[in-house]
Structure 1
């Protein structure tokens, strides 16, 4: 019996040593610059005045459990590890077009999508770049969440000078350290949620480049030209402490049109409110991908994307958050197939450009192929 006790004691000691070792390695690894910085000082003082900040973290307007009732974290983890989900990423290289962004006439209103949620936009003489991720990965863990073949054809050097870089939130598939560093001298202003600027300042951006906003605020671009920062139902966080910075969606109202970018977030009544508040939206760029009924509260299902687009009173919609990284268990092309199905007979036009294809915001006759069909 004493021998068994000694073995158990020794096993426990080894187990505790392993836990301490893993904890120490994790702590040291997470001190790398790519993990960013938590808000402090004057930045934190401003955050603490926000009506959306309580008990040391930001809250959604109506709190919901991340996991849908009936699902469990252990159950979802087990399914992800042990259950086989077919076609989660393409075997073929994705088709794409390499548009020369630096030589586009500045008076042309257009959007160029780069895969996932990254896109470039020219609108009434201003250049925007949203959630750029030009590295091969959307994860801080080496070798994980890699970009699909053919999806990563753009890099920071391909970008012209950017007037406003829009950052919806600080998750790795929307805020990439390597990309942010490479763009530092090309970006005039970064518009982001309260607290997200801490990452950028830590990475060498000047304070005057950073415009941090709460929900329901605005950035005056020019007379009759405004960026409105709107809510979404999601989260922020690059480590083990979520909710320290704020997540946003954007409504850009130029003299010519209104463009809405949803960022990430589950469905709620904000779309109807935004549609009522701003009137018809000319273009909606909507998150549509990396969803699961188990976490429906933080990522919309395709049928919800279609409903939200109608409630926005959008005339045109581009689905994003797909076709570059696998972050969910559905087939990689399911978001495109589903949103195409759910958009039939809807009052908006669905635009499905391939990566790099220029979408003219002023051409209602422009057509788009189902480029994902036939890709294995």
Structure 2
């Protein structure tokens, strides 16, 4: 899984590094999420791997982390200034809460607990529901999927759980739950929601069976040469989008937390360059900046 130990990785993380944090608060757009259009498919990214999808009249919230921290300890994984302008109070009613796996930067206890009154249903990977039930979510709300299983929910939304090359675990327990990517079929749109994954042949296999996709949301950031199998390098993110037969790539898993050793802006710079070389359309919204699939594609290099 990884070439370096957890202890050595933590020592490296605690050493000073160049540009590991932004030098000033990140720019953002504050949007009234209750007024998003009810036709088409709109995406709002909240930094890292948290985002909201409005497909027709259905609202899907993916891997929300609004507590300000992506870790069980305060000194690790604190959000960048300016990146946490959205919270639970800003969320509309959620038709589907989608949780890809149980790592702290994707499954946040404080956020998930506070969201419960707003959530109608949850879709997640096999085993993750046990966390939610301990946090007072009723079993009737939760749909767990193993790889290649699908569920039709809210009438017009079909979710299919698919393989990813990653792992699961909270604190010292690993492998108690599954981790997944998801295909979301909605009215007139098909999206690939990548979760976390290293690069491998599964992207091409998924693209051949389920593609093409109107949009792929793929991890791009928090990588390390010692973790080649569980996170992608930015160039691999662009290649994965091509393998998936994605029309547009939205790079996520960056822009909110420092969980690796690279400069905070390096992932988006590298994936942008590779996407340009490959002729792959890329969308790079600011945090909170809505865009509609097939229409406007924000592409400003706001991180510079």
TM-score (normalised: structure 1):
0.78
How has the CA–CA distance of structure 1 residues 74 and 221 changed in structure 2, closer, same or farther, with 3 Å as cutoff?
Answer: closer
The Cα shift of 1:287 comes to: 0.3
Give me the CA root mean square deviation.
1.6
Length, aligned pairs only: 304
The Cα shift of 1:366 comes to: 3.3
Which residue does the alignment assign to 2:13? 80
Listed one character per residue, the Cα deviations across residues 286-333 of structure 1 (whole Å, up to 9, x for unaligned) are 100000011011000011101101000100010000010000000000
Please tell me whether the aligned partners of residues 168 and 174 of structure 2 are also in contact (alpha carbons under 8 angstroms).
yes
2:226 is the alignment partner of 1:291 = no
Instruction: Provide the C-alpha distance between the structure 1 equivalents of 2:266 and 2:191, rounded to a whole number of angstroms.
Output: 25
2:211 is the alignment partner of 1:276 = no
Matches within 5 A, 1:1-376: 66-68=1-3, 75-82=8-15, 84-221=16-153, 225-363=157-295, 365-373=296-304
Flag structure 1 segments of 5+ consecutive residues without an equivalent: 1-65
The Cα shift of 1:104 comes to: 1.9
Computing the radius of gyration from Cα coordinates, the structure with the larger value is 1
Instruction: Provide the C-alpha distance between the structure 2 equivalents of 1:195 and 1:204, rounded to a whole number of angstroms.
Output: 16
Partner SS state of residue 229, structure 1? strand
Partner SS state of residue 27, structure 2? coil
Instruction: Provide the C-alpha distance between the structure 2 equivalents of 1:76 and 1:107, rounded to a whole number of angstroms.
Output: 46
Please tell me whether the aligned partners of residues 124 and 256 of structure 1 are also in contact (alpha carbons under 8 angstroms).
no
Query: Which deviates more from structure 2 when the two are superposed, residues 216-225 or residues 319-328?
Result: 216-225
The Cα shift of 1:225 comes to: 3.8
Please tell me whether the aligned partners of residues 290 and 326 of structure 1 are also in contact (alpha carbons under 8 angstroms).
yes
The Cα shift of 1:76 comes to: 4.1
Please tell me whether the aligned partners of residues 67 and 73 of structure 1 are also in contact (alpha carbons under 8 angstroms).
no
Flag structure 2 segments of 5+ consecutive residues without an equivalent: none
Partner SS state of residue 164, structure 1? strand
Partner SS state of residue 216, structure 2? strand
Whichever structure has more helix as a proportion of its residues is: 1
Please tell me whether the aligned partners of residues 168 and 248 of structure 1 are also in contact (alpha carbons under 8 angstroms).
yes
Runs of 4+ in 1 over 3 A off after TM superposition: 71-82, 222-225
Partner SS state of residue 215, structure 2? strand
